[in-house]
Chain A
């Protein structure tokens, strides 16, 4: 029983603690974000804190990962930072002009859908595709710096997510601001894939080593459950082992902070490069070459309201002084968002004289039209970007994906009406049409309906895999078909390689030995018992191996010159087969109830050959078959028929006509999704127009008349094809005429010059006479 004095003391203690804790917390988080004037980045020798605000002691057993929210909070207001452009998921910062969307890619179904958390035109919201914040984080977190949808409040954690296991993905401050060379974007991506969201920042920064995978843990696992002592092999809970050399005796860690991050941090997510370029051939931005960093122009304060640096950003986002950091702002001077005149030459930007450039060019073109991106060619070039093609993630697995095919430069009008170079890609997806609306199908739905139609290589892979394990086989089994040889790759797919000497119509199973293609079964005469003895043993081994092929539809048989070989009770049985007397090269078949079936059916053979080495993943025949399958499935469920389903790719909509054939139509939903490109800026001497007007104004100009063909996962001749001028909203005939006029312009200038000289000389003579008369000189002479 407590005495009254004791109970009073206890109440007092509770009151003091109750008041002190929130006050202390408020004191920690409410520091005003005001620059004191010092230009020194403070040394960050600070205690690391976990997500509960507890100081991390690296020597403890199973320390938790550090949390940027609690570690950085005493000095930096996390709630302000998380509203910054990179993290807020479009909830707080204005959308501004379109940027590169996230692209939902599924190569097998030929799906590439633009997704954005911002309301940009032609992009889908994640929810349109049934993607939750969890799905979005898991899919795109590899290049996402945390916060926003990746850091949901408890009420926002929907069913089906595993936030309870993975933790949320807090804003990764060190992703940009860690100056240590150990900061590793690849490690970040791997941790995301392992669903180790709360551990990702610790692992990627190099502050500690993270083991285990949340993705293998039961959905009921909790952080406080800790490691599972019964499973140290598979479902290993994530844990951290901190680099103790970074900590002092007071458990403070030295974090090497860069107030202004280096370019490498930006390029981890924002790099782009021509798809076919060699690394040594790549030319960096002229500003980088001049010593400027990305953040020299793309600035922000603690609000992390990034200056994107496009013209008109001041109107979209009055909170930033962005007009001063546009091309014009630095090079020409301009008016800031506040309407204040700024001087040109910021950061030493040279003032362009633009000799001979008619005014209309600066009225109608963005600076980047002439100065940025690759010089226009007959066809825009393919470019890979970090986020679209998963660049910059290194490890045993190959993360780079060829889809989507982003191309540049395509000149189009920007939101300010000026012609600006863009990157673009053509969305591709299966959809259900309802009037003019097309709702995209998720790849899982397509897989379910299409089945093996999307896996034409499967039969060949099964056979090659089975042959690979045949006894006494020297070399790698390959399929030689239509000028290519195919072998099985590490991902279980078919890898085509050009086969010198191969031709269309070739089809045989073979062996690749030291780069040389040899027959799988050397030629022999089955009628010659003595000579056939050894090959028949080899055939038996092959047939035995083939019997083990996955999903084998029958017994494998080998046929040659009127004889058939088949395994019967572990022995090869050789029977006469007069129908095969004309088979001069050995052939394999599956023998089933319905008779012989080819190892590789015609549909699979056609599809593999058509797609080999093209980078495309679907044929029109597959589209037809999948549309039929989708229709059948929907019909069975009473949800419509084949005619309701479409496939969009390469700028066209593909649907079945009344006769069941695939027809291509134009459709707004199939139009490309574009976003302006700003880099790489070329030196002035390599700008468009440096050689004169005919760089663009010529009848054969690539600027106006490049051919832009829709690209996508579908191999089709029906792809969209337009001249570059159509993308600019300009008439090709006029620019053809205008360009042609430059052929006579030199002559025209000479004529004008002579006329001017003639008129000028008469005027001069008249003027001199008038002056002479005025001065009385002429009369005097008379």
Chain B
């Protein structure tokens, strides 16, 4: 469990640093004669502080809420929006409960919270399936966007656009979401040995981390505009 906790902290922190530093770079003008803005740690920290203060303001929250409503209204019109709401709510509940118990209870999740966790897992599964049917087509890989991983040395990542990455996050969310459903279902069926059951619990735990990371990445890339006036990863302004 200690490995899982350490990995969770490191990976979430790493994702946060990576995404925030990219945003910092985008928000910083390059020095005269330079193609790319130079990364300065004090400037980054100052930006981070300013940005977090901005995001805490009522106006920012209102803007975010408006943007989210507009985004969902465009993709999940009418009754379909309930799919998004139910999926988001069940995911947030699952993640909050699961990680809280993983972090603070040596036994992991148990008792009534486990019962609710399993129940809301059903809701998550149904809505993930519905979303895949209605909206998966939107995340096909065609067309290119602005490169997002310029800072990476690896040419594959370097050439990935934010849009592509956002779509990849969607598919990762779907894939690891299905892993979560499979491991939950598998542990309810009397077909796997005890050792397999134990492995499934581990897979479920690490799968949850992968779902969380892909959801955070997706939200950052797709839902939050990268720069003022710039389109987000899905091509909307």
Contacts and interface: CB of A to CB of B under 8 A. Distances in A.
Contact of A359 (B136, B189, B201): B201
B158 interface: no
Nearest to A765: B136
A760 B189 contact: no
Contacts of A357: 194, 197
A749 B181 CA distance: 10
Nearest to A754: B129
A759 B185 contact: no
A354 B126 CA distance: 30
B111 interface: yes
A752 interface: yes
Interface stretch (A279-287, A445-453, A646-654, A737-745): A737-745
A346 B17 CA distance: 53
Contacts of B197: 354, 356-359
Contacts of A362: 194
B182 interface: yes
Interface stretch (B44-52, B75-83, B171-179): B171-179
B188 A755 contact: no
A762 B137 CA distance: 10
A737 B141 contact: no
A358 B187 contact: yes
B190 A763 contact: no
Interface string A513-540: 0000000000000000000000000000
A356 B178 contact: no
Contact of A356 (B107, B140, B189): B189
Contact of A760 (B121, B178, B194): B178
B122 A748 contact: yes
Q: How large is the interface on A (under 10, 10 to 19, 20 to 34, 35 or more residues)?
A: 20 to 34
B128 A759 contact: yes
A773 B125 CA distance: 29
B122 to A, nearest CB: 6
Which of A356, A734, A749, A760 has the largest number of chain B CB atoms within 10 A?
Answer: A356
Interface string B54-75: 0000000000000000000000
Given A359-B197, A753-B185, A759 B110 contact: no
Contacts of A751: 122, 125-126
Which of B112, B115, B197, B201 has the largest number of chain A CB atoms within 10 A?
Answer: B197
Interface string A752-782: 1111101110110010011001000000000
A354 B190 CA distance: 9
Contact of B177 (A356, A692, A748, A759): A759
Contact of A759 (B181, B184, B188, B198): B181
A770 B26 CA distance: 31
Interface string A59-98: 0000000000000000000000000000000000000000
A762 B174 contact: yes
Nearest to A770: B141
Which of A353, A759, A760, A766 has the largest number of chain B CB atoms within 10 A?
Answer: A759
Contacts of B157: none
B181 A752 contact: yes
Contacts of A741: 115
B28 to A, nearest CB: 35
Contacts of B174: 759, 762-763
Q: Is the interface of B mostly helix, strand, loop or mixed?
A: helix
A756 B190 contact: no
Contacts of A773: 141
B111 A763 contact: no
B187 A355 contact: no
B178 A759 contact: yes
Contacts of B181: 752, 755-756, 759
Nearest to A362: B194
Contacts, number: 94
B193 interface: yes
B191 interface: yes
Contacts of A358: 187, 197
A422 B194 CA distance: 26
A352 interface: yes
A164 to B, nearest CB: 60
Interface in A708-748: 734, 737-738, 741, 745, 748
A290 interface: no
B178 A692 contact: no
Contacts of B184: 752
A755 B126 contact: yes
Given A359-B198, A749-B185, A759 B129 contact: yes
B202 to A, nearest CB: 10
Q: How large is the interface on B (under 10, 10 to 19, 20 to 34, 35 or more residues)?
A: 35 or more
Contact of A762 (B132, B191, B198): B132
Nearest to A364: B107
A752 B193 CA distance: 20
A763 B133 CA distance: 10
A1 interface: no
Nearest to A774: B141
B192 interface: yes
A756 B185 contact: yes
A331 to B, nearest CB: 11
A690 B40 CA distance: 64
Contacts of B129: 754-756, 758-759
Interface in B102-141: 107, 110-112, 115, 121-122, 125-126, 128-129, 132-133, 136, 140-141
A196 B198 CA distance: 60
A358 B174 CA distance: 26
Given A751-B122, A752-B185, A734 B177 contact: no
Nearest to B198: A359
A355 B197 CA distance: 8
A363 interface: yes
Interface string A347-370: 000001111111110110000000
A356 B191 contact: yes
A752 B125 contact: yes
A334 to B, nearest CB: 14
B45 to A, nearest CB: 40
Contacts of A353: 193-194
Contacts of A359: 194, 197-198, 201
Contacts of B193: 353-355
Which of A355, A745, A752 has the largest number of chain B CB atoms within 10 A?
Answer: A752
Given A734-B111, A766-B171, A756 B189 contact: no
Interface in A355-397: 355-360, 362-363
Nearest to A735: B111
What are the 6 closest A-B residue pairs judged by CB atoms, nearest first?
A: A356-B190, A354-B194, A755-B125, A758-B129, A762-B132, A755-B129
Interface of A: 352-360, 362-363, 692, 734, 737-738, 741, 745, 748-749, 751-756, 758-760, 762-763, 766, 769-770, 773
Given A355-B193, A355-B194, 15 more contacts: A354-B193, A354-B197, A355-B192, A359-B194, A359-B201, A363-B107, A734-B112, A752-B125, A752-B184, A753-B185, A755-B122, A755-B126, A755-B129, A758-B132, A762-B132
25 contacts: A353-B193, A356-B187, A356-B188, A358-B187, A359-B201, A734-B111, A738-B115, A748-B188, A752-B121, A752-B181, A752-B188, A755-B122, A756-B125, A756-B185, A758-B129, A759-B125, A759-B129, A759-B132, A759-B174, A760-B178, A762-B133, A762-B174, A763-B132, A763-B175, A766-B136
